[in-house]
Amino acid sequence: MKLPVTLAMLAATAMGQTMCSQYDSASSPPYSVNQNLWGEYQGTGSQCVYVDKLSSSGASWHTEWTWSGGDGTVKSYSNSGVTFNKKLVSDVSSIPTSVEWKQDNTNVNADVAYDLFTAANVDHATSSGDYELMIWLARYGNIQPIGKQIATATVGGKSWEVWYGSTTQAGAEQRTYSFVSESPINSYSGDINAFFSYLTQNQGFPASSQYLINLQFGTEAFTGGPATFTVDNWTASVN
């Protein structure tokens, strides 16, 4: 769903860094903060990302945005990401994560979501995959995930709508599963591997042949604003 192929990496040990170019990125391993205005040409507007704190223990950042035009299209996925040793999903024991976030203007079209890619080729570009797993902690306005709703599931003690659809990314089919919360979850702590377990057991996801290649958390901005999305702290790892 996203086609960020950046890699204008900026030194990121300092706080207060501002990033306003399309694919600006700041890094303090294993974490990064990424501007990622991958769909900016489908509308009109502006967006900047501000690094509040970035270190080996987590990421704190916020983004300010205003977008119009191109209704129903994603303009950006500003996010924080984490690097890890790629491995088959079937070999992953846990993906612990926690996040605290807030959105000041909810009269917009946007979502707040985890985004993970898997691929049969461990060297696949990390900007897309054979499969995409999205976990929507919030949905604002008149937007919906790729495809259609196929189920309702309880994962990690919470109820989720389960959506499925496919798109073409980099000339190949990408199958997307989206778990959508019924109401905003501003404080989340859990094991993302539980979502892969559900997909493997209930939707035929091929965990033994798909490598986990990317893990990010952020907001997809469609239209509206001005709005500010703030991540007070985000951590994640793959075990």
User: Considering only CA atoms, which of 136, 116, 134 is closest in space to residue 126?
Assistant: 116
**φ, ψ for residue 40 (rounded to 5)?**
-60, -25
Q: How far is CA 129 from CA 98, 123, 201, in A?
A: 24, 10, 21
SS (H, E, C) 183-229: CCCCEEEEECHHHHHHHHHHCCCCCCCCEEEEEEEEEEEEEEEEEEE
Q: Residue 74 in 3-state DSSP? A: coil
Q: How far apart are CA 213 and CA 170, in angstroms?
A: 16
Residues marked active site are found at: 132, 220
Tokens of residue 178, six digits: 């989206």
Nearest to 156 by CA among 128, 191, 188, 126: 191
Rounded to the nearest 5°, which phi and psi values hold at 27? -140, 140
